[in-house]
Amino acid sequence: NGSLGEDFSYTPLSGLIDDADRIFDDKDANGYVKEQFRDKHIILISLNAETDVRRGFDGIWVMEDEGSLIGIKTPLVEEMKKGRKVVFWVKHAVNGAALFPLLSPNIYFSSDARMGFTTDLEDFDIGDDVVDEKQISLRVGTAEGYLINGGYDYRILKPMVRSRYWLSINIKGGTPEFSTEPWDQLPNEAGWILLTDNGDGDYADPDDTLWGNDRLVVDAQKAKWLGVSDGTADTIGEIAFNLGIERNYVVVTNDDDFDTKADRIMRDWRDGLNQAKSSLQRIIEEIRETPIAGTYDDRREARGKVINLYKQAISWLRRYEEVLDRSGSQRSELRTRIEALKLDAQLDKPDRGGGGGGGGGGGGGGRPGRGIG
């Protein structure tokens, strides 16, 4: 539950996978799941998440590797390559989170689930049409890779993210036939179902419509039509039944309460992240309240305090870098400020009678994890 890339990111996901491996204890000497356990020892991910709505489609980047940081999808893909069966149970998957379950060939939808994007790549605009299309193509190509990885028809993707596309489907003998032709140009035969129009003119959804049909929004029924879902399930028992393990499945729990071990891993991560944010906010406030002024001794003490606060901030940002400082730019900026304060200290001289002097305050504002000092 929560925000993909924040509440649920690389570190807790890796912890979940490592813990599953420890409990199952079913891998061979080369790290691959033994054949006889591949349909029995299953990781089930219940997904009720979205990425930051302000980023829209670009929320997908929290799943990708960035520099030295490993993206969310990497440990999952690696585990599946080793023979682990990973099943997604989609309840709510929006923006970047809409692509996450498509990495797996095993997906179930809850009866009221939605998978889709709240923004339209048609609105992508940095001032140059040619550059815009190149950037859109980059994003679409990256996203299509998720569907290809999971074994799904990549043609589903474009109607999900761009309103210019028509998409209709005809189920013949259980095999979906897709068409991107306008509705009035489809073959004159029964069975066609309109999934999306092109959002143009009379086809445009009202401005206040969140889930219209200008872009493809996948619900439980559409997921089955599109071959994305293995079935609809509202309980773990229903999923177990569909997987053929209803008589002998076990949900692993902690010894001291009724939460699953996964719940504890996620809760510990979320609590630690919240502590980091609170600590960074406190650091910001302390820096604001520490002017580098007064006597020489006052200034020296203030610089030392601010430098120590910056080091604390760097430590928190490093610990939760995958959420708070993916690019490392904030830590780089803080190290620069530390060096500047050290240089100021070398140039500062004891007062010659009289009071005061010295530089300004220790730092300005900022939001936790989004700018310090």
DSSP state of 185: G
Per run of 10 residues, the mean pLDDT along the chain (length 373 residues) is 84 91 94 94 92 85 83 93 96 93 96 92 90 94 93 92 89 80 77 82 60 83 93 93 78 56 84 95 95 93 96 95 91 96 92 57 45 58
| Closest by CA position to 142, among listed 85, 102, 114, 84 | 102
Measured from the Cβ of residue 36, the count of other Cβ atoms closer than 10 Å reads 9
pLDDT of residue 212: 62
pLDDT of residue 362: 53
Instruction: Say how far apart CA 159 and CA 117 lie, in whole Å.
Output: 10
| Closest by CA position to 195, among listed 228, 159, 151, 153 | 159
Q: Please give the torsion angle defined by the CA atoms of residues 126, 129, 131 and 132, in that order, rounded to the nearest 10 degrees.
A: 60
Measured from the Cβ of residue 198, the count of other Cβ atoms closer than 10 Å reads 18
Q: Please give the torsion angle defined by the CA atoms of residues 260, 265, 266 and 271, in that order, rounded to the nearest 10 degrees.
A: 120
Cα distances from 118 to residues 2, 123, 164, 198, 217, in angstroms, run: 16, 12, 15, 16, 9
**Could you tell me which residues come within 8 angstroms of residue 290 by beta carbon, excluding any fewer than 6 positions away?**
302, 305, 306, 309, 361, 362
Contact of 3 with 96, CB cutoff 8 Å: no
Measured from the Cβ of residue 35, the count of other Cβ atoms closer than 10 Å reads 10
The secondary structure element, H or E, covering residue 178 is: strand 175-179
**Could you tell me which residues come within 8 angstroms of residue 174 by beta carbon, excluding any fewer than 6 positions away?**
none
pLDDT of residue 222: 93
pLDDT of residue 48: 93
pLDDT of residue 365: 41
The separation between the first and the last C-alpha atoms of the chain, rounded to the nearest angstrom, is: 32
Placement of tokens 């002017």 in the chain: 291
DSSP state of 357: -
Burial of 68 (0-12, 13-18, 19+ CB in 10 A): exposed
Instruction: Say how far apart CA 181 and CA 194 lie, in whole Å.
Output: 10
| Closest by CA position to 163, among listed 114, 207, 224 | 207
Residue ranges of alpha helices (H) inside the chain are: 10-24, 73-81, 129-150, 157-161, 220-225, 236-243, 261-288, 296-319, 321-324, 329-347
The residue type found at 255 is: D
Phi, psi dihedral angles at 320 (to 5 degrees): -120, 40
